[in-house]
């Protein structure tokens, strides 16, 4: 190898190491800042938040059942939609259709109704009803072809996104869920209310559900039963997220509420330190991965939102929300963090 080539390789390696050092330093200094209170009028109790695919619009679901849409560049309210004329029940699930070619929001809530809203014309599209159910969560496959719901009746349902036709129903179970299913022909469904549904971002066929029954269930939309059950998390809100082969859960428990799980084996990786205030409990409702090194979570135990470094297992910053944090959403590309509390709607930057 010539001395000239060796010199160039050495310079390239040096520049790469310097860039990595700068990136590591930036990550170590990650913080929450520029916090602003977004006006939702005379309504409070934010139960759900959604961002569209390019981060230009945010939608929030409120206790009254209304849907509010915001411009993420100006933070002006674009419109407010009353999703039901007959009742005022919490709008717990709000999701944008995961494709910018269709400016559509899907809503679902305590009245058991699933509805689509065309944001260009502000008109109601397709609807579907889960009779007698309260829907707590809704999420899309990464190609947008299907979405799944979970709610009070412990049943997990899978729908065609274009028509809202029911594709598959995974019924709840009365079985005592055990770690070994040698005595059972199949893994049973959930036995209590399903609070969160999350598709894997890199697999259109797999999704995870979390329930009051202290179980996570893994489902394959091509199969008729659950393919895996993980014991432990007591999820009571949007306390479920997944990144690559790692699951993040937020439980409504006093301690060890924020946990990382290995998707493949179902084993607990670690308990993340949430730092309880004044000896009180953690009691978390919601969580999100910021990236592979940081997570964000909040709840009612400390009434704040914490940014936690997974590698060092340390809280690097927090946002004092003053009220229980009921939902969060993030958009890393825009360094955007949205937080909904039992009182107001906050936005912040994560640097």
Tens digit of pLDDT for each residue in 257-301?
Answer: 999 999 999 999 999 999 877 677 999 999 999 999 999 999 999
Query: What's the rounded Cα separation, in Å, for the pair 310 and 292?
Result: 8
Residue 207: exposure state from Cβ atoms within 10 A (0-12, 13-18, ≥19): buried
Using an 8 Å Cβ cutoff, are 302 and 252 in contact? Answer: no
- Among residues 28, 36, 27, 23, the alpha carbon closest in space to that of 70 is found at 36
Q: Provide mean pLDDT across the span 134-151.
A: 97
Q: Which of 107-111, 128-132, 137-141, 175-179 bottoms out in mean pLDDT, i.e. has the lowest? A: 175-179
Structure tokens belonging to residue 346: 């906050």
Q: Which of 19-23, 157-161, 343-347 bottoms out in mean pLDDT, i.e. has the lowest? A: 19-23
Residue 75's Cβ-side half-sphere holds a number of Cα atoms within 13 Å equal to: 12
Read off the pTM.
0.89
Q: Which of 39-43, 161-165, 336-340 bottoms out in mean pLDDT, i.e. has the lowest? A: 39-43
Sign of CA dihedral 38, 44, 49, 50: negative
Can you give the pLDDT at residue 184? 54
Judged against a pLDDT cut of 60, whether residue 173 lies above it is answered with: yes
Tell me the pairing of strands 226-231 and 240-243: unpaired
**What does the pLDDT look like over 297-343, one tens digit per residue?**
999 999 999 999 999 999 999 999 999 999 999 999 999 999 999 98
Query: What's the rounded Cα separation, in Å, for the pair 248 and 71?
Result: 29
Using an 8 Å Cβ cutoff, are 208 and 216 in contact? Answer: yes
């Amino acid at each position: 190898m010539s001395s000239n080539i060796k010199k160039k390789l050495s310079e390239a390696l040096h520049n790469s190491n310097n860039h990595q050092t700068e990136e590591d330093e930036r990550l170590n200094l990650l913080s929450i800042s520029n916090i602003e209170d977004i006006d939702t009028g005379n309504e409070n109790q934010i139960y759900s938040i959604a961002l569209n695919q390019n981060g230009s619009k945010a939608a929030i679901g409120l206790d009254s059942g209304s849907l509010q849409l915001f411009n993420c560049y100006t933070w002006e309210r674009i419109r407010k939609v009353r999703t039901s004329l007959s009742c005022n029940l919490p709008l717990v699930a709000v999701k944008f259709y995961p494709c910018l070619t269709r400016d559509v929001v899907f809503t679902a809530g305590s009245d058991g109704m699933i509805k689509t809203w065309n944001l260009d014309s502000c008109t109601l599209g397709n609807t579907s009803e889960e009779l007698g159910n309260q829907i707590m969560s809704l999420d899309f496959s990464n190609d947008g072809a299907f979405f799944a719901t979970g709610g009070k009746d412990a049943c997990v349902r899978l729908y065609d996104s274009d028509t809202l036709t029911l594709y598959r129903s995974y019924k709840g179970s009365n079985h005592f869920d055990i770690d070994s299913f040698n005595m059972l022909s199949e893994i049973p469904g959930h036995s209590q209310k399903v609070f969160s549904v999350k598709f894997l971002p890199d697999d259109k066929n797999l999704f995870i559900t979390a329930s009051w029954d202290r179980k996570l269930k893994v489902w394959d939309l091509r199969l008729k039963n659950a393919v895996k059950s993980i014991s432990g998390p007591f999820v009571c809100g949007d306390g479920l997220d997944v990144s690559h082969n790692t699951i993040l859960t937020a439980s409504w428990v006093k301690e060890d509420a924020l946990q990382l799980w290995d998707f493949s084996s179902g084993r607990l990786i670690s308990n993340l330190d949430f730092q309880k205030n004044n000896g009180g409990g953690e009691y978390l409702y919601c969580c999100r991965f910021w990236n592979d090194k940081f997570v964000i979570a909040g709840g009612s135990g400390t009434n704040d939102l914490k940014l936690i470094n997974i590698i060092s297992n340390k809280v690097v910053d927090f946002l004092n929300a003053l009220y229980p944090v009921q939902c969060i959403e993030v958009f890393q590309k825009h360094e955007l963090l949205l937080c909904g509390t039992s009182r107001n709607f906050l936005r912040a930057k994560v640097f």
